[in-house]
Amino acid sequence: AAAATLTVFDGDGRLADGHRVPLLANVGGAKDAVAAAAAGAQGVGLLRTEFCFLGRDLEPSAEDQIAAYRGVFEAFAGKKVVVRTLDAGADKPLPFLTDASEPNPALGVRGYRTDWTSPGVLERQLAAIAAAAEGTTADVWVMAPMIATVDEAAHFAAMCSAAGLTTPGVMVEVPSAALTSASILGEVAFASLGTNDLTQYAMAADRQLGPLAALNSPWQPAVLMLIGLTVAGSVAEGNGKPVGVCGEAAADPALAVVLAGLGVSTLSMTPRALAAVATVLRSVSLDEAKELARLALAAPSATQARAQVRAGLPILD
Ligand code: PEP
Ligand code: MG
């Protein structure tokens, strides 16, 4: 049966057979969060905390941090909010954390790695997140960007636990993390695929360079395989811990179907994409989504994967 076209998301991400795929929002602060809630987002799948403090020369105070995070938690009372710790570096420099003279910033001290060069900042941020969560009803999850090894995941989980944060997770956006996801998920409660960086690192193609855009496609067979492996790692680990997606891939309706078919548990995106993604998801059953995911994985190129999946989604005509 054809799905009705949603012009406004009604806050219920699901497939045609009722299989739920909650649709969350990527936000950069409280103002975004209020707009995302109004757009029907079922929670926040990625709070980019570095966006709250871009351009600052000094580490934000505890008070500033608590106010910024609390604004988001209040916009999503009773809902899930995934807070990403500062992802400074490369395309998002923060003068108090990153070294602008690095020769290869995308491969440098960025994301979680800044804890090695600026000890204390991450610990204070986790304390601020815990303080902001107090007295709100949001279900606060916390994740680290740019995790590459199992030891890093274990260390981050221990830091979260010391701060009183009970749901630690990691972004899977470095191919090494995708390949070792079973062990990584043994240390943390969830993972969230950052397909923007995962694609950049899998294809060795700077995500900011226009001439490399064709390589920088999440439809690339290698990227789809890494996503599939990450989910398989969660299943292998035994308890099927949640693996979501919070990269731009989730905002492409045809790719969202493939991601659902690959077994991801939630999709987080820019709020403007929610209605279109919800409509296309509702046009297929889980079995159909799995079949389209199989087709995409078997395709020899990004172009062919995309064309074959779109051909199997009449609602996109
Ligand atoms: C990603 O890398 O896919 C991601 C969601 O994080 P960012 O775009 O902020 O690096
Ligand atoms: Mg990233």
Ligand 1, residues 173, 216, 248, 269: which to mutate, most atoms within 8 A of Cβ? 173
Residue 1 has a pLDDT of: 43
**Ligand 1 neighbours by CB, cut-off 6 Å:** 46, 48, 87, 173, 194-197, 246-247
| Catalytic-role residue among 246, 275, 278, 289 | 246
Q: Give the Cα separation of 75 and 124 in Å (integer).
A: 23
Question: Using one digit for the tens of pLDDT, what is the confidence trace for 142-189?
Answer: 999 999 999 999 999 999 999 999 999 999 999 999 999 999 999 999
Question: Using one digit for the tens of pLDDT, what is the confidence trace for 209-221?
Answer: 999 999 999 999 9
Q: Which residues sit with Cβ closer than 5 angstroms to ligand 2, an ion?
A: 173, 194, 197
- Decide: helix, strand or coil at residue 98: coil
Question: Using one digit for the tens of pLDDT, what is the confidence trace for 58-108?
Answer: 999 999 999 999 999 999 999 999 999 999 988 888 999 998 899 999 999
Report CA(226)–ligand 2 centroid distance (Å).
15
Question: Using one digit for the tens of pLDDT, what is the confidence trace for 243-296?
Answer: 999 999 999 999 999 999 999 999 999 999 999 999 999 999 999 999 999 999
Is a pLDDT exceeding 80 seen at residue 238? Answer: no
Q: Give the Cα separation of 312 and 295 in Å (integer).
A: 10
219: left (phi over 0), alpha (psi -120 to 50) or beta: alpha
Q: Give the Cα separation of 282 and 4 in Å (integer).
A: 8
Indicate the annotated binding residues for Mg(2+).
173, 197
Report CA(94)–ligand 2 centroid distance (Å).
15
Q: Give the Cα separation of 105 and 107 in Å (integer).
A: 5
CA 255 to chain centre: 15
Q: Which atom of ligand 1 is nearest to the CA of 197?
A: 2
Is a pLDDT exceeding 80 seen at residue 239? Answer: no
Ligand 1, residues 143, 197, 267: which to mutate, most atoms within 8 A of Cβ? 197
Give CA separation, 35 vs 23, 129, 141, 303, in Å: 15, 21, 20, 34
Closest-approaching ligand to the CA atom of 48 = 1
Give mean pLDDT, residues 30-35.
Answer: 98
160 is catalytic: no
Q: Give the Cα separation of 156 and 238 in Å (integer).
A: 21
User: Phi then psi for 190, rounded to 5 degrees?
Assistant: -165, 170
Output the 3-class SS for 202-244.
HHCCCCCCHHHCCCCCCCCHHHHHHHHHHHHHHHHCCCCCCEE
- Decide: helix, strand or coil at residue 245: strand
Which residues on adjacent β-strands are paired with residue 269?
25
Report CA(259)–ligand 2 centroid distance (Å).
18
Indicate the annotated binding residues.
48, 84, 173, 196-197, 207
Q: Give the Cα separation of 215 and 232 in Å (integer).
A: 25
Neighbours of 72 (CB within 10 A): 28
Residues in contact with 73: Cβ distance below 8 Å, sequence separation at least 6, in sequence order: 81, 132, 133, 136, 138, 140
Give CA separation, 144 vs 44, 141, 193, 269, in Å: 15, 11, 12, 18
Ligand 1, residues 48, 82, 147: which to mutate, most atoms within 8 A of Cβ? 48
Give CA separation, 268 vs 11, 64, 86, 303, in Å: 13, 26, 18, 24
Dihedral, CA of residue 48, residue 11, residue 14 and residue 3, to nearest 10:
-120
Please, what is the Cα angle at 233 between 231 and 237, to 5 degrees?
125
Neighbours of 6 (CB within 10 A): 17
